Amino acid sequence: MTSTPRMLPRRWPGTWTAPLVACALLLTGGCIAEERTADAPGAGQREDVRVPVGGDAIGDADADPARDETSDEPREDPPDATHTEADTALDSSDDTQPEVIAEDARDDRDAPEGGAHDDAADDDPIDWDAFADAGPSDTEDARDEDARDEDARDEDAAEEQDAVDDAAEDDPPVCVPSCAGRRCGPDGCQGVCGTCGDLEGCEAGQCVALPRPWEALLDERIGFGRAARGGAGGSVCWVDNTNDAGPGSFRACAESDEPRWIRFRTGGTIRLQRPVMVGSFTTVDGRGHRVRFEHQGLTINNRQHVILYNIEIGSGGGSDSSDAIQIINGAQHIWVHHVTLESFPDGLLDITRGATDVTVSWSHFRNHDKVMLIGADKADTGDTVIRVTLHHNWFQRTNQRHPRLRYGRVHVFNNYFERWGSYAIGSSQRGEVRSERNVYEAGDRREAFQTEFAADDARGYIRSVTDLRLRNATTTQHRRDDVFYPDYPFTVVPADDTLIQRIRANAGRRERPAP
């Protein structure tokens, strides 16, 4: 019979191709190994190597130059090796027999090489031919079964270790020494750290996104512009000076389409020499400083996801057509929040030429004539896509256009119109205005709404819902049943003195700490 070779207690010297092993364990305490190799000096030649149990081979020490003399690792026989039944009996001894032999070897450490373990062994030598012909005993069968059980246990242990190793690979590495504020390199930790990004920290050796408290601002979005993301999730671009252009300037941060949240390390007045063309996915966040733009304004031209927050724009110059904020040419998802606008040559905030999904909230308009134009010309029939929400704004003693609408739809709720000059809200070309719980405090003229204009050939539609009229103000509706109802959630409060005081106290840019 044959059996799969088992690993020997120590590494065997030499290169084995077809070893035949027979060990006189009880007599010699060692094994006589017969080696036949392709490199043997001649056919039928033998090389005897005596291997005492628990020790290195006795014989030619230079037989295997590559052998590691310091290694305790066992080396398996080559897979093509075969054994006799006697070998099987030897292999099946497993862990018990080597321990006995090792003890016997210690007792007979003074015996000569090849000597007997005891006198009885010398008097009764083993009949090797009879041993080779004999069948396996019951004891040998039990030992074979024990060996198979041990192999199964070894395989189970190996599988468990593989599972542990796989789990360790899935766990995030931890840098040693600690890499606070840093992260592991691409080769795992190994004590090598790279730098995390500006908005990242290190947890368990991994870069993780830090809390971004400034983005809590997004929770305040309401209305048609509620989808505006601004620079959420992008980098922070810091404004370090009040220069018109150049490194560290507002213009350098704003005129890019990469997602960025613009913050200010310094306040003051930034005098712009030409309009700033604000890029997509941009938030201008003026908290922490008083930031004011003068002479020229901000333009959002065919861009999307822009948020302007807590800034001032005023004292405009340049041409008569310049606006403080211009949103044009299909710009979309725009939110103007807590902004103070005043005194510009043309408009304070214009939304024209297909720009849509805009919210203007908690802003303060003052010292101006033509405040807000939505739809510039009756020829721009594509402006039917325009949708704008105005809420909690303060129009303080301004003349007209709060707003002036053509074609689109505007939802106006909880605003305070304080003593307008010509009119509060104008609509033509079938533009639809829903006025809901606003405060209209009349100025020189009592009528708040105007739906006919000489330059246009169709009237607009206005509906008033529970508005408050002060100082004998009037709100004349036109085609009220043709006005839309907004398809987004919103909450309105009563139009009363409490609303007035709240708007006065909070609209426009306010002193707010940087988050």
Among the ranges given (101-110, 241-250, 406-415, 475-484), the one the predictor scored with the smallest mean pLDDT = 101-110
Comparing 85 with 338, the larger pLDDT belongs to 338
Q: Of 330, 243, 307, 287, which Cα lies nearest the Cα of 511?
A: 287
Contacts of 498 (CB under 8 A, 6+ apart): none
Q: Tell me how far apart the alpha carbons of residues 191 and 178 are, in angstroms, rounded to a whole number.
A: 8
Task: Using the predicted structure, report yes or no on whether residue 139 has a pLDDT greater than 70.
Answer: no
Q: Tell me how far apart the alpha carbons of residues 370 and 343 are, in angstroms, rounded to a whole number.
A: 10
Helix runs in 171-280, H state only: 250-254
Banded pLDDT at 20 (limits 50, 70, 90): very low
Task: Using the predicted structure, report yes or no on whether residue 446 has a pLDDT greater than 50.
Answer: yes
**pLDDT number for residue 198:** 66
Task: Using the predicted structure, report yes or no on whether residue 34 has a pLDDT greater than 50.
Answer: no
- For the 213-506 domain, the top CATH level (class) is mainly beta
**pLDDT number for residue 405:** 98
**Is position 67 annotated as part of the catalytic site?**
no
Q: List the chain domain ranges.
A: 20-136, 172-210, 213-506
- Overall average pLDDT of the 137-148 stretch: 64
Task: Using the predicted structure, report yes or no on whether residue 63 has a pLDDT greater than 50.
Answer: no
DSSP 75-115: -PPPTT----HHHHHHHTTTTHHHHHHHHHHHHTTTSPTT-
Banded pLDDT at 453 (limits 50, 70, 90): very high
Task: Using the predicted structure, report yes or no on whether residue 318 has a pLDDT greater than 60.
Answer: yes
DSSP 358-399: EEEES-EEES-SB-EEES--TT-GGGGG-EEEEES-EEES--
Comparing 207 with 238, the larger pLDDT belongs to 238
Task: Using the predicted structure, report yes or no on whether residue 109 has a pLDDT greater than 50.
Answer: no
Helix runs in 239-325, H state only: 250-254
Banded pLDDT at 238 (limits 50, 70, 90): very high
Residue 387: strand pairing partners: 409
Task: Using the predicted structure, report yes or no on whether residue 218 has a pLDDT greater than 50.
Answer: yes
Catalytic residue among 401, 434, 437, 463: 401
Q: Tell me how far apart the alpha carbons of residues 355 and 25 are, in angstroms, rounded to a whole number.
A: 96
Task: Using the predicted structure, report yes or no on whether residue 352 has a pLDDT greater than 70.
Answer: yes
Contacts of 393 (CB under 8 A, 6+ apart): 360, 361, 362, 363, 364, 365, 415, 416, 503, 507
Question: End-to-end distance of the chain based on CA atoms, in angstroms?
Answer: 82
Contacts of 226 (CB under 8 A, 6+ apart): 335, 359, 488
Tally of CB atoms within 10 A around 146? 15
**pLDDT number for residue 210:** 78
**Among residues of the chain, what percentage have pLDDT more than 90?**
57
Which run of H or E residues covers position 119?
A: helix 119-123
**pLDDT number for residue 148:** 74
What tokens does 214 get?
């400034």
- Overall average pLDDT of the 206-231 stretch: 91
> What is the distance of C-alpha 88 from the center of its chain?
60
Banded pLDDT at 181 (limits 50, 70, 90): very low
When the pLDDT of each residue in the chain is averaged and rounded to a whole number, the result is 77
